[in-house]
Structure 1
Amino acid sequence: MNLSERDLVNYCKQNNAAAQRQLYQEHIQGILKLCLRYLDNKTDIEDIAQHTFEKAFNKISTFQIKGEGSLRAWLHRIAINECLMHIRKNKTFQLSFTDEEAWLEDKMDHSENDPEPVPAFELRQVLDCIRQLPDGYRTVLNLYVFDEMKHEEIAQTLGISLNTSKSQLSRARKLLKQLLNSTL
Protein backbone atom coordinates (compact mmCIF):
# COMPACT_ATOMS: atom_id res chain seq x y z
CA MET A 1 0.00 0.00 0.00
CA ASN A 2 1.62 3.25 -1.15
CA LEU A 3 -0.79 6.14 -0.60
CA SER A 4 -0.54 9.86 -1.23
CA GLU A 5 -0.25 12.04 1.87
CA ARG A 6 -3.90 13.08 1.60
CA ASP A 7 -5.14 9.49 1.21
CA LEU A 8 -2.83 8.32 3.97
CA VAL A 9 -4.28 10.87 6.39
CA ASN A 10 -7.85 10.03 5.37
CA TYR A 11 -7.29 6.30 5.91
CA CYS A 12 -5.56 6.97 9.24
CA LYS A 13 -8.60 9.00 10.29
CA GLN A 14 -10.60 5.80 9.68
CA ASN A 15 -8.17 3.83 11.91
CA ASN A 16 -6.91 1.81 8.94
CA ALA A 17 -4.02 -0.28 10.29
CA ALA A 18 -2.21 -0.52 6.94
CA ALA A 19 -2.28 3.27 6.55
CA GLN A 20 -1.06 3.76 10.12
CA ARG A 21 1.77 1.31 9.46
CA GLN A 22 2.73 3.20 6.27
CA LEU A 23 2.68 6.56 8.07
CA TYR A 24 4.87 5.11 10.83
CA GLN A 25 7.34 3.51 8.41
CA GLU A 26 7.62 6.66 6.30
CA HIS A 27 8.27 8.97 9.25
CA ILE A 28 9.91 6.99 12.08
CA GLN A 29 13.50 7.63 10.97
CA GLY A 30 12.94 11.38 10.70
CA ILE A 31 11.27 11.48 14.12
CA LEU A 32 14.11 9.49 15.70
CA LYS A 33 16.70 11.86 14.17
CA LEU A 34 14.75 14.87 15.40
CA CYS A 35 14.54 13.44 18.95
CA LEU A 36 18.28 12.76 18.85
CA ARG A 37 18.85 16.52 18.52
CA TYR A 38 17.14 17.09 21.86
CA LEU A 39 17.88 13.98 23.91
CA ASP A 40 20.90 11.76 24.30
CA ASN A 41 19.43 8.68 25.97
CA LYS A 42 18.51 6.01 23.39
CA THR A 43 15.63 4.65 25.46
CA ASP A 44 14.17 8.14 25.95
CA ILE A 45 14.49 8.85 22.23
CA GLU A 46 12.65 5.64 21.32
CA ASP A 47 9.96 6.30 23.95
CA ILE A 48 9.41 9.86 22.75
CA ALA A 49 9.17 8.66 19.13
CA GLN A 50 6.52 6.12 20.15
CA HIS A 51 4.61 8.77 22.15
CA THR A 52 4.74 11.00 19.08
CA PHE A 53 2.98 8.42 16.93
CA GLU A 54 0.49 7.52 19.68
CA LYS A 55 -0.44 11.17 20.01
CA ALA A 56 -0.56 11.62 16.23
CA PHE A 57 -2.91 8.66 15.76
CA ASN A 58 -5.12 9.89 18.62
CA LYS A 59 -5.25 13.43 17.20
CA ILE A 60 -5.25 12.64 13.46
CA SER A 61 -8.95 13.55 13.24
CA THR A 62 -8.03 17.18 13.99
CA PHE A 63 -5.26 17.33 11.38
CA GLN A 64 -5.91 19.46 8.29
CA ILE A 65 -3.72 18.98 5.21
CA LYS A 66 -2.28 22.32 4.18
CA GLY A 67 -0.21 21.05 1.28
CA GLU A 68 2.49 18.52 0.60
CA GLY A 69 4.76 18.10 3.60
CA SER A 70 2.28 19.40 6.15
CA LEU A 71 1.91 15.93 7.69
CA ARG A 72 5.66 15.74 8.24
CA ALA A 73 5.70 19.22 9.78
CA TRP A 74 2.78 18.29 12.06
CA LEU A 75 4.51 15.09 13.21
CA HIS A 76 7.74 17.00 13.83
CA ARG A 77 5.90 19.62 15.90
CA ILE A 78 4.38 16.83 18.03
CA ALA A 79 7.82 15.25 18.47
CA ILE A 80 9.42 18.57 19.44
CA ASN A 81 6.67 19.20 21.98
CA GLU A 82 7.10 15.67 23.38
CA CYS A 83 10.87 16.20 23.68
CA LEU A 84 10.40 19.54 25.43
CA MET A 85 7.81 18.08 27.82
CA HIS A 86 10.25 15.27 28.62
CA ILE A 87 13.06 17.76 29.24
CA ARG A 88 10.86 19.88 31.53
CA LYS A 89 9.47 16.84 33.35
CA ASN A 90 12.89 15.39 33.98
CA LYS A 91 14.47 18.76 34.73
CA THR A 92 17.34 18.03 32.34
CA PHE A 93 17.32 21.63 31.11
CA GLN A 94 19.82 23.26 33.44
CA LEU A 95 20.06 27.03 33.58
CA SER A 96 23.60 27.98 34.42
CA PHE A 97 23.49 31.78 34.29
CA THR A 98 21.54 34.51 36.02
CA ASP A 99 19.62 37.07 34.01
CA GLU A 100 22.27 39.68 34.78
CA GLU A 101 25.04 37.44 33.47
CA ALA A 102 22.93 36.70 30.39
CA TRP A 103 22.41 40.41 29.78
CA LEU A 104 26.12 41.14 30.22
CA GLU A 105 27.11 38.25 27.94
CA ASP A 106 24.66 39.43 25.30
CA LYS A 107 26.09 42.96 25.43
CA MET A 108 29.69 41.74 25.26
CA ASP A 109 29.19 39.22 22.45
CA HIS A 110 30.69 40.47 19.22
CA SER A 111 30.65 37.15 17.39
CA GLU A 112 28.42 38.53 14.62
CA ASN A 113 31.22 40.94 13.69
CA ASP A 114 33.90 38.27 13.91
CA PRO A 115 35.99 38.57 10.73
CA GLU A 116 37.42 35.07 11.23
CA PRO A 117 36.20 32.77 8.42
CA VAL A 118 34.34 29.65 9.47
CA PRO A 119 35.77 26.47 7.95
CA ALA A 120 33.50 24.01 6.19
CA PHE A 121 32.58 20.91 8.14
CA GLU A 122 30.84 17.69 7.37
CA LEU A 123 27.25 17.52 8.59
CA ARG A 124 28.10 14.50 10.74
CA GLN A 125 30.84 16.48 12.52
CA VAL A 126 28.48 19.35 13.24
CA LEU A 127 25.73 17.06 14.56
CA ASP A 128 28.20 15.14 16.72
CA CYS A 129 29.47 18.40 18.20
CA ILE A 130 25.92 19.63 18.82
CA ARG A 131 25.23 16.42 20.74
CA GLN A 132 28.20 17.22 23.00
CA LEU A 133 26.70 20.54 24.09
CA PRO A 134 25.15 20.75 27.56
CA ASP A 135 21.40 20.08 27.52
CA GLY A 136 20.37 23.71 27.93
CA TYR A 137 22.66 24.96 25.17
CA ARG A 138 21.66 22.14 22.82
CA THR A 139 17.95 22.69 23.38
CA VAL A 140 18.07 26.45 22.74
CA LEU A 141 20.35 25.99 19.71
CA ASN A 142 18.03 23.36 18.21
CA LEU A 143 14.93 25.47 18.74
CA TYR A 144 16.58 28.59 17.30
CA VAL A 145 18.50 27.10 14.37
CA PHE A 146 16.59 24.02 13.27
CA ASP A 147 13.07 24.84 14.42
CA GLU A 148 13.44 28.55 13.55
CA MET A 149 11.90 29.78 16.79
CA LYS A 150 12.47 33.35 17.95
CA HIS A 151 13.97 33.99 21.39
CA GLU A 152 10.55 35.05 22.69
CA GLU A 153 9.07 31.69 21.66
CA ILE A 154 12.02 29.77 23.11
CA ALA A 155 11.75 31.63 26.41
CA GLN A 156 8.03 30.95 26.64
CA THR A 157 8.36 27.30 25.59
CA LEU A 158 11.13 26.52 28.08
CA GLY A 159 9.95 28.81 30.86
CA ILE A 160 13.14 30.89 30.87
CA SER A 161 13.80 34.60 30.41
CA LEU A 162 14.44 36.19 27.03
CA ASN A 163 17.99 37.11 28.08
CA THR A 164 18.69 33.57 29.22
CA SER A 165 17.61 32.25 25.83
CA LYS A 166 19.94 34.71 24.10
CA SER A 167 22.80 33.88 26.42
CA GLN A 168 22.33 30.12 26.06
CA LEU A 169 22.39 30.49 22.26
CA SER A 170 25.48 32.70 22.34
CA ARG A 171 27.32 30.30 24.61
CA ALA A 172 26.17 27.32 22.54
CA ARG A 173 27.58 28.93 19.39
CA LYS A 174 30.91 29.69 21.08
CA LEU A 175 31.22 26.19 22.51
CA LEU A 176 30.16 24.64 19.21
CA LYS A 177 32.83 26.66 17.40
CA GLN A 178 35.45 25.44 19.91
CA LEU A 179 34.30 21.83 19.52
CA LEU A 180 34.37 22.07 15.73
CA ASN A 181 37.81 23.67 15.72
CA SER A 182 39.12 20.89 17.96
CA THR A 183 37.96 18.29 15.42
CA LEU A 184 40.24 19.69 12.71
Structure 2
Amino acid sequence: MDKKTKEQKLIKGCQAGKGKYQQMLYELYYGKMFSVCLRYSRSREEAKDILHEGYMKVFAGIGQYKGEGSLEGWIRRIMVNTAINHYHKNKKLKDTFSIEEEYDEVAENDHLTEENVIQQMAYDDLLQIIRTLPPAYQTVFSLYAIEGYNHREIAEMLQISEGTSKSNLAKARKKLQKQVQVLLSQKAQFQNV
Protein backbone atom coordinates (compact mmCIF):
# COMPACT_ATOMS: atom_id res chain seq x y z
CA MET A 1 0.00 0.00 0.00
CA ASP A 2 1.48 3.36 -1.01
CA LYS A 3 1.70 6.43 1.23
CA LYS A 4 -1.30 8.20 -0.35
CA THR A 5 -3.53 5.13 0.07
CA LYS A 6 -2.43 4.71 3.72
CA GLU A 7 -3.11 8.39 4.32
CA GLN A 8 -6.61 8.14 2.79
CA LYS A 9 -7.40 5.10 4.96
CA LEU A 10 -6.17 7.00 8.02
CA ILE A 11 -8.33 10.02 7.15
CA LYS A 12 -11.45 7.87 6.60
CA GLY A 13 -10.89 6.14 9.95
CA CYS A 14 -10.53 9.51 11.70
CA GLN A 15 -13.65 10.84 9.96
CA ALA A 16 -15.53 7.81 11.30
CA GLY A 17 -14.31 8.73 14.79
CA LYS A 18 -12.34 5.52 15.25
CA GLY A 19 -9.88 5.96 18.11
CA LYS A 20 -7.37 3.55 16.59
CA TYR A 21 -6.98 5.75 13.51
CA GLN A 22 -6.91 8.95 15.54
CA GLN A 23 -4.10 7.48 17.64
CA MET A 24 -2.20 6.47 14.50
CA LEU A 25 -2.55 9.98 13.02
CA TYR A 26 -1.51 11.53 16.33
CA GLU A 27 1.60 9.35 16.56
CA LEU A 28 2.50 9.81 12.90
CA TYR A 29 2.86 13.59 13.18
CA TYR A 30 3.43 14.00 16.94
CA GLY A 31 7.14 14.88 16.75
CA LYS A 32 6.83 17.42 13.96
CA MET A 33 3.72 19.07 15.40
CA PHE A 34 5.14 19.17 18.92
CA SER A 35 8.18 20.93 17.47
CA VAL A 36 5.87 23.50 15.84
CA CYS A 37 4.05 24.07 19.15
CA LEU A 38 7.33 24.43 21.05
CA ARG A 39 8.28 27.38 18.84
CA TYR A 40 5.18 29.28 19.95
CA SER A 41 5.20 28.44 23.63
CA ARG A 42 7.06 29.39 26.78
CA SER A 43 7.39 25.83 28.10
CA ARG A 44 7.00 22.18 27.16
CA GLU A 45 3.77 22.03 29.18
CA GLU A 46 2.29 24.96 27.28
CA ALA A 47 3.39 23.35 23.99
CA LYS A 48 1.63 20.12 24.99
CA ASP A 49 -1.55 22.07 25.75
CA ILE A 50 -1.39 23.72 22.33
CA LEU A 51 -0.66 20.38 20.67
CA HIS A 52 -3.61 18.63 22.31
CA GLU A 53 -5.96 21.51 21.54
CA GLY A 54 -4.69 21.48 17.96
CA TYR A 55 -5.27 17.76 17.57
CA MET A 56 -8.82 18.15 18.92
CA LYS A 57 -9.38 20.67 16.11
CA VAL A 58 -7.77 18.30 13.59
CA PHE A 59 -10.08 15.44 14.57
CA ALA A 60 -13.15 17.71 14.67
CA GLY A 61 -12.35 19.19 11.25
CA ILE A 62 -10.81 16.22 9.42
CA GLY A 63 -13.85 16.13 7.14
CA GLN A 64 -12.84 19.55 5.82
CA TYR A 65 -9.50 18.26 4.53
CA LYS A 66 -9.97 18.04 0.77
CA GLY A 67 -6.69 16.40 -0.14
CA GLU A 68 -5.33 19.62 -1.63
CA GLY A 69 -1.78 19.89 -0.39
CA SER A 70 -0.27 17.54 2.12
CA LEU A 71 -2.09 16.28 5.19
CA GLU A 72 0.98 17.24 7.21
CA GLY A 73 0.78 20.82 5.91
CA TRP A 74 -2.93 21.00 6.75
CA ILE A 75 -2.27 19.77 10.30
CA ARG A 76 0.70 22.16 10.65
CA ARG A 77 -1.53 25.10 9.69
CA ILE A 78 -4.05 24.08 12.35
CA MET A 79 -1.27 23.86 14.96
CA VAL A 80 0.10 27.30 14.01
CA ASN A 81 -3.39 28.82 14.14
CA THR A 82 -4.05 27.14 17.49
CA ALA A 83 -0.78 28.55 18.83
CA ILE A 84 -1.71 32.03 17.56
CA ASN A 85 -5.14 31.76 19.20
CA HIS A 86 -3.40 30.69 22.41
CA TYR A 87 -1.16 33.75 22.10
CA HIS A 88 -4.21 36.02 21.67
CA LYS A 89 -5.93 34.51 24.72
CA ASN A 90 -2.87 35.14 26.86
CA LYS A 91 -1.89 38.44 25.25
CA LYS A 92 -3.54 40.58 27.88
CA LEU A 93 -1.44 38.88 30.55
CA LYS A 94 1.86 39.34 28.76
CA ASP A 95 3.92 42.26 27.62
CA THR A 96 3.18 43.45 24.11
CA PHE A 97 5.41 45.59 22.00
CA SER A 98 4.43 48.15 19.38
CA ILE A 99 5.98 50.37 16.77
CA GLU A 100 5.67 53.39 19.06
CA GLU A 101 8.49 52.01 21.18
CA GLU A 102 12.00 53.09 20.43
CA TYR A 103 13.09 51.28 17.28
CA ASP A 104 16.33 49.38 17.81
CA GLU A 105 18.55 48.94 14.80
CA VAL A 106 19.85 45.42 14.34
CA ALA A 107 23.60 45.53 14.74
CA GLU A 108 25.51 43.98 11.90
CA ASN A 109 28.08 41.43 12.94
CA ASP A 110 30.26 40.26 10.06
CA HIS A 111 31.77 37.22 11.74
CA LEU A 112 28.46 35.82 13.00
CA THR A 113 26.24 34.77 10.10
CA GLU A 114 23.00 32.83 10.43
CA GLU A 115 24.52 29.91 8.54
CA ASN A 116 27.53 29.43 10.81
CA VAL A 117 25.42 29.90 13.95
CA ILE A 118 23.07 27.14 12.88
CA GLN A 119 26.00 24.89 12.06
CA GLN A 120 27.55 25.45 15.49
CA MET A 121 24.46 25.16 17.64
CA ALA A 122 22.08 22.35 18.37
CA TYR A 123 18.39 22.78 17.65
CA ASP A 124 17.57 22.60 21.35
CA ASP A 125 19.99 25.45 22.10
CA LEU A 126 18.32 27.63 19.48
CA LEU A 127 14.84 26.73 20.70
CA GLN A 128 15.81 27.58 24.28
CA ILE A 129 17.14 30.96 23.18
CA ILE A 130 14.00 31.70 21.15
CA ARG A 131 11.88 30.87 24.19
CA THR A 132 13.60 33.61 26.20
CA LEU A 133 12.18 36.27 23.88
CA PRO A 134 9.15 38.26 25.00
CA PRO A 135 5.99 36.58 23.64
CA ALA A 136 5.33 39.19 20.93
CA TYR A 137 8.89 38.92 19.61
CA GLN A 138 8.91 35.11 19.83
CA THR A 139 5.68 34.78 17.88
CA VAL A 140 6.68 37.15 15.09
CA PHE A 141 10.15 35.61 14.83
CA SER A 142 8.75 32.07 14.62
CA LEU A 143 6.13 32.99 12.04
CA TYR A 144 8.62 34.89 9.88
CA ALA A 145 11.91 33.04 10.22
CA ILE A 146 10.69 29.49 10.79
CA GLU A 147 7.23 29.20 9.21
CA GLY A 148 7.99 31.56 6.30
CA TYR A 149 5.09 34.00 6.59
CA ASN A 150 5.55 37.57 5.35
CA HIS A 151 4.88 40.68 7.44
CA ARG A 152 1.48 41.32 5.86
CA GLU A 153 0.32 37.79 6.75
CA ILE A 154 1.75 38.06 10.26
CA ALA A 155 0.04 41.41 10.79
CA GLU A 156 -3.31 39.90 9.79
CA MET A 157 -2.87 36.80 11.97
CA LEU A 158 -1.78 38.70 15.07
CA GLN A 159 -3.98 41.75 14.46
CA ILE A 160 -1.03 44.15 14.52
CA SER A 161 0.37 46.53 11.91
CA GLU A 162 3.02 45.47 9.41
CA GLY A 163 5.32 48.04 11.02
CA THR A 164 4.88 46.40 14.40
CA SER A 165 5.66 43.03 12.85
CA LYS A 166 8.85 44.40 11.29
CA SER A 167 9.84 46.15 14.50
CA ASN A 168 9.26 43.05 16.62
CA LEU A 169 11.29 40.95 14.19
CA ALA A 170 14.20 43.41 14.24
CA LYS A 171 14.15 43.54 18.03
CA ALA A 172 13.92 39.74 18.25
CA ARG A 173 16.91 39.35 15.95
CA LYS A 174 18.94 41.82 17.98
CA LYS A 175 18.15 40.02 21.25
CA LEU A 176 18.80 36.63 19.67
CA GLN A 177 22.11 37.79 18.25
CA LYS A 178 23.30 38.88 21.69
CA GLN A 179 22.18 35.64 23.31
CA VAL A 180 23.74 33.52 20.57
CA GLN A 181 27.05 35.34 21.00
CA VAL A 182 26.97 34.64 24.74
CA LEU A 183 26.16 30.97 24.19
CA LEU A 184 28.87 30.55 21.55
CA SER A 185 31.47 32.20 23.78
CA GLN A 186 30.44 29.93 26.66
CA LYS A 187 30.76 26.88 24.41
CA ALA A 188 34.16 28.08 23.20
CA GLN A 189 35.36 28.53 26.79
CA PHE A 190 34.08 25.08 27.70
CA GLN A 191 35.90 23.51 24.75
CA ASN A 192 39.15 25.25 25.74
CA VAL A 193 39.03 23.85 29.27
Q: TM-score, normalised by structure 1?
A: 0.84
Runs of 4 or more, structure 1, over 3 Å off, are: 97-102, 108-111, 114-117
Contact 2:37-2:79 within 8 A present in 1 as well: yes
Q: Which residue of 2 aligns with 1:176?
A: 176
Q: Which residue of 2 aligns with 1:44?
A: 46
Contact 1:129-1:180 within 8 A present in 2 as well: yes
Distance 1:167 1:77, change over 3 A: same
Q: Which residue of 2 aligns with 1:95?
A: 96
Contact 2:155-2:165 within 8 A present in 1 as well: yes
SS in 1 for 2:46: helix
Indicate whether 1:157 and 2:168 are aligned. Answer: no
* Equivalent position to 1:20, from 15, 19, 22: 22
Distance 1:167 1:98, change over 3 A: closer
* Counterpart residue identity of residue 161, structure 1: S
Q: Which residue of 1 aligns with 2:63?
A: 61
Distance in structure 1 (CA, Å) of the matches to 2:57 and 2:89: 18
Q: Tell me the percent identity.
A: 31
Shift of 1:93: 5.4
Shift of 1:152: 0.7
Contact 2:84-2:158 within 8 A present in 1 as well: yes
Gaps of 5+ in 2: 185-193
Distance in structure 1 (CA, Å) of the matches to 2:52 and 2:112: 42
Matched residues, number: 175
Shift of 1:110: 6.6
Name the Cα RMSD after superposition.
Answer: 2.2
Q: TM-score, normalised by structure 2?
A: 0.80
Farther off after superposition, 52-61 or 124-133: 124-133
Q: Which residue of 1 aligns with 2:134?
A: 134
Contact 1:87-1:93 within 8 A present in 2 as well: no
